[in-house]
Structure 1
Amino acid sequence: MNRILGVVTCSDLNLAETFIPLFEERAPGLDLRRPEDIDRPEDVRFMLSFVPADDAFEPYPGLEAVFSVGAGQDAIDACPSRPDALPVYRLEDPDQALQMAGFCAFHVLWHHREMAQVHANQPRALFERKITGLSPTARRIGVLGFGLMGRAVAKGLVALGYPVSGYSRRMPEAEPGVTHFTEGQLDDFLGQTDILINVLPLTNATRGLIDASFLAKLPRGAALIHVGRGGQVDENALVEAINSGQLSGASVDVFEVEPLPEDHPFWTHDSILVTPHVACIPAPEAVVENVRQRMTSCKETA
């Protein structure tokens, strides 16, 4: 049987240990190897990666596709050795979307129900009850980005009774219970959002988008849940917005530099909840199946 040769490469994750055995088990038609185990680089047809080294693509002139092991592909897109015409496929996994929806629902409740204060009260043995504003109707949720992830997040919050709005550049298919804003309506969208959830991909248009002027367009006392991509939020501006009272707090899962440096102000800020880029993590089996389907389809149509 002719097998399609692939290479697994990533500058900061050991993907080979996880994925090579899985490909052998679940996709026997695909021969995935480490770079050092490739005898004829010109025979390699696909790459599996997430954060490729700058020269990762140079040895493989016959590449037909590169696959991200996650929902993001910005590091692959930015790799200087990637040929412009080489297709990049990111994982679109319904299970990841469910993980994201649950993660965001938790953080909406964290900010709406002021759980940071509850948590701070515990070491002080302070039994302090908040008895107003507990209804989900008391907080308007805005979902910035309305692809697979954004739609799942919005759907979950609608089910909890929150008023939900979505924003995307193009008008998506309607989602019951969601009011939608599109290009030219961003300021209106922000002005009626009490808790903003950012799930945008990183592009030239979204890099640095969430800066001081952007945050100033939210209602005073709003909160930010940032699960998009590092590089979209001006982190200093976010701290300043919270310190000034423009924002009441933030949950941040993705960062300009990862791992987040030990001396970063987010770590010690009482109103910022830091999570280590774990909003959703795909099952390796889903990654293998995604590659198998696409590469098998390409072989059949060749």
Structure 2
Amino acid sequence: MKSGGEEAVPKWRKAFQAVDPRLDIRWWDDAAVAPEDVSYVVVWDPEPGRLKRLSNLRVVFSSAAGVDNIVRDPEWPRHLPLVRMGGLETGQRMGEFVSWACLSLLRGARRMALAQAQARWDNFNPRFTAPERRVGIMGLGSLGGTAARMLRALGFPVAGWSRTRKELPGVESFAGAEELEAFLARTDILVCLLPSTPETRGLIDARLLSLLPRGAQVVNVGRGSHLVVPDLLAALDGGHLDGALLDVFEPEPLASDSPLWSHPRVIVTPHLASMASLRERARYIAEAIAAHEAGDPLPNLYDPERGY
């Protein structure tokens, strides 16, 4: 176990005990544990080469939805199943966060926060309601689908763009590079929920942002590597974009001298959009281990061909 630091291990142990008391939960650097005795690991950012040394390892679990901190290790054991964090609570939390993000941009939450910090009464009238702002979600997997459903319930017109076409009730679908421009042209609030792959790195750059309508807004809850920050700042300062809400950065934590912290049109949150409770993550992992030992398929497997 390497997630949340050594101080989190007792909490993890208690959570696992509640769902499967047979599981023996140990800290990643526990000297009393022989490498060959480890069957499963739960990690977020393992040191390069460590996984390779666990000779009887059966499954690698990521403690979050992303796996880029694991697969960037050139020696990670690629023959083993790698399970991304999932479950209903993860989707629920992401859907809630994306809904809050879009509503925050819609209603001018950053402007309100700045006025409050200055003890200044700024009684303004937001320009739009939800039905007047078209949301476009890049990445229509399970998290994107849940977010789309919640946004539609709030009245936002929703479209989605993905590598291959996804059909969701009430969601206009776009797919592939040939339909990206049309997707962007109809998007007032762009939500990025893409996985981290070589193809998506730096995707949200000056050119892509220029294809959004003037006054558009951006929500990034995918990966920090998707966004070219200087291009975003230029689009904000130049007036093409109206605002942004960012939950992911490269690197993390966001540097204290980053201009994003103080920008009047940017809301910064510390990579917490979809992090499920420790109790729920323990349940998800324990159920996956039980399925694996029964010979049943594992959920949410990383596909090296797709890169996510």
Task: Settle same-fold status: TM greater than 0.5.
Answer: yes
Q: Which amino acid aligns with 1:79?
A: D
Matching of residue 211 in structure 1 with residue 192 in structure 2: no
Q: Is the 8 A contact 1:142 1:194 kept in 2?
A: yes
1:197 equivalent in structure 2: 191
C-alpha distance in structure 2 between counterparts of 1:110 and 1:40, whole Å: 50
Deviation at residue 38 of structure 1 after TM alignment: 4.5
2:123 equivalent in structure 1: 128
Q: Which amino acid aligns with 1:130?
A: N
Deviation at residue 246 of structure 1 after TM alignment: 1.4
Task: Supply the RMSD in Å over aligned alpha carbons.
Answer: 2.1
2:173 equivalent in structure 1: 180
Deviation at residue 18 of structure 1 after TM alignment: 2.7
Secondary structure (helix, strand or coil) at the match of 2:25 reads: strand
Deviation at residue 28 of structure 1 after TM alignment: 2.3
Q: Is the 8 A contact 1:71 1:90 kept in 2?
A: yes
Q: Mapping of 1:104-183 within 5 angstroms?
A: 104-122=98-116, 123=118, 125-130=120-125, 133-172=127-166, 174-183=167-176
Secondary structure (helix, strand or coil) at the match of 2:208 reads: helix
Q: Which amino acid aligns with 2:124?
A: R
2:303 equivalent in structure 1: none
Structure 1 outlier segments of 4+, above 4 Å: 10-15
Q: Is the 8 A contact 1:226 1:251 kept in 2?
A: yes
Question: CA deviation digits over 1:149-188, x for unaligned, max 9?
Answer: 111111111111111101111122x322211111121111
2:87 equivalent in structure 1: 93
Relative to the length of structure 2, the TM-score reads 0.88
Deviation at residue 280 of structure 1 after TM alignment: 2.0
Relative to the length of structure 1, the TM-score reads 0.90
Q: Which amino acid aligns with 2:75?
A: S
C-alpha distance in structure 1 between counterparts of 2:267 and 2:119, whole Å: 20
- What is the aligned length? 293
Question: CA deviation digits over 1:258-294, x for unaligned, max 9?
Answer: 1111100101110110111111211222222222222
Indicate the larger mover: 9-18 or 114-123.
Answer: 9-18
Distance change (3 Å), C-alpha of 1:13 and 1:53 = farther
Q: Which amino acid aligns with 2:236?
A: I
> Share of identical aligned residues, percent?
33
1:43 equivalent in structure 2: 37
Specify every segment of 5 or more residues in structure 1 that has no aligned partner in the other structure, as ranges.
1-7
Secondary structure (helix, strand or coil) at the match of 2:224 reads: coil
C-alpha distance in structure 2 between counterparts of 1:13 and 1:189, whole Å: 45
Matching of residue 281 in structure 1 with residue 287 in structure 2: no
2:76 equivalent in structure 1: 82
Specify every segment of 5 or more residues in structure 2 that has no aligned partner in the other structure, as ranges.
297-308
1:263 equivalent in structure 2: 257
